[in-house]
Amino acid sequence: NAGVTQTPKFQVLKTGQSMTLQCAQDMNHNSMYWYRQDPGMGLRLIYYSASEGTTDKGEVPNGYNVSRLNKREFSLRLESAAPSQTSVYFCASSVPGHTNQPQHFGDGTRLSIL
């Protein structure tokens, strides 16, 4: 019972490099989300996809792009990494109606940008 799977678990990048974080869920959920978590800041929404084929900006979208590849997969891309993007990134999924449905989180990707 995998749930939400994120790859990689750890990554170190140099400033200016690009990278794609992968997320896949096997719960047949329509909605998927990308968050970043910084110390003392809680979780902040970067982008979300309410359903296959749609994506919307969240609270902190600058510097990121997303692709909803199919119903299962939602990727997050950093085109030109900056030290300010050092964070733990979580992917989550839910049935439609995220305002009153629980979100299921992956184990996170720990990203360091030097």
Partner 1 sequence: QQPVQSPQAVILREGEDAVINCSSSKALYSVHWYRQKHGEAPVFLMILLKGGEQKGHEKISASFNEKKQQSSLYLTASQLSYSGTYFCGTVYYNNNDMRFGAGTRLTVKP
Between residue 5 and residue 34, which ones bind partner 1 under the rule CB under 8 A?
none
CA distances to 3, 25, 28, 47, 70 from 59, rounded to whole Å, are 25, 23, 25, 8, 23
Of 113, 105, 92, nearest to 10 by C-alpha is: 113
User: Which residues inside 41-80 make contact with partner 1, applying CB under 8 A?
Assistant: 41-45, 48, 50, 56, 58-59
Copy the structure tokens of residue 93. 């999924």
Structure tokens at 75: 């990727």
Q: Which stretch binds partner 1 (CB under 8 A): 13-21, 22-30, 75-83, 92-100?
A: 92-100
Q: Does 104 bind partner 1 (CB under 8 A)?
A: yes
Binding site for partner 1 (CB under 8 A): 4, 35, 40-45, 48, 50, 56, 58-59, 90, 98-108
